[in-house]
Amino acid sequence: MTTATNGTMEERARRIASECRSYLESAAGEVAMDAAKYPEPDVKKKIAKAKKAGVRDIEGWLADEFYNDAGFIEDFLGDRLCNECGGNKELRNAVLDVLGKNAHPAMMKAVKNLRRD
């Protein structure tokens, strides 16, 4: 591969990674809004515990909980990667490299689980 091609791949990977991060943040917020309005039993317990601990912004707190959950990230990110990268394994792994760089633990775990050799 030439340097120009590598640069293009890297730029594309950074763009897709940025879009994926934005998508995850939005998805976490939307899922949190729904979960706060119509909580399932396990979420009800978490909400009650959070309120007892003094959490006032339940939707924001839930969004953070989802965003810090490797399973949530893996589910949403996996779908998005398929849409954005198609069958291009090299691009997919380049996007995962960008997402995994300096990532929080849940993101790092999701990236590791999503990586395909």
Q: Please say whether the beta carbons of 80 and 23 come within 8 A.
A: yes
Would you state the pLDDT for residue 6? Answer: 54
Q: Which residue segment(s) compose the domain that 22 sits in?
A: 3-114
List per-residue pLDDT tens for the chain, 117 residues long.
Answer: 444 455 689 999 999 999 999 999 999 999 999 999 998 999 999 999 999 999 999 999 999 999 999 999 999 999 899 999 988 999 999 999 999 999 999 999 999 999 865
Q: What is the pLDDT of residue 1?
A: 42
Tell me how many domains the chain contains. Answer: 1
**Predicted TM-score of the model (pTM):** 0.83
Tell me, what's the pLDDT at 3?
42
Are the C-beta atoms of residues 41 and 116 closer than 8 Å to each other? no
Helix (H, G, I), strand (E, B) or coil at 68: coil
Number of H helices, E strands in the chain: 6, 0
**pLDDT for residue 117:** 55
Residues sharing a CB contact under 8 Å with residue 106, sequence separation 6 or more, in sequence order: 67, 68, 69, 70, 73
Residue burial 48-68, b: 16+ Cβ < 10 Å; e: rest: eebeeeeeeebeebbbebbbe
Please report the pLDDT score of residue 2 as a whole number: 41
Residue with tokens 């939707």: 59
Distance CA 7, CA 80 (A): 22
Please tell me the predicted confidence (pLDDT) of residue 4: 47
> According to the model, what pLDDT value does residue 79 have?
87
Rounded (5°) CA angle 12-91-67? 80
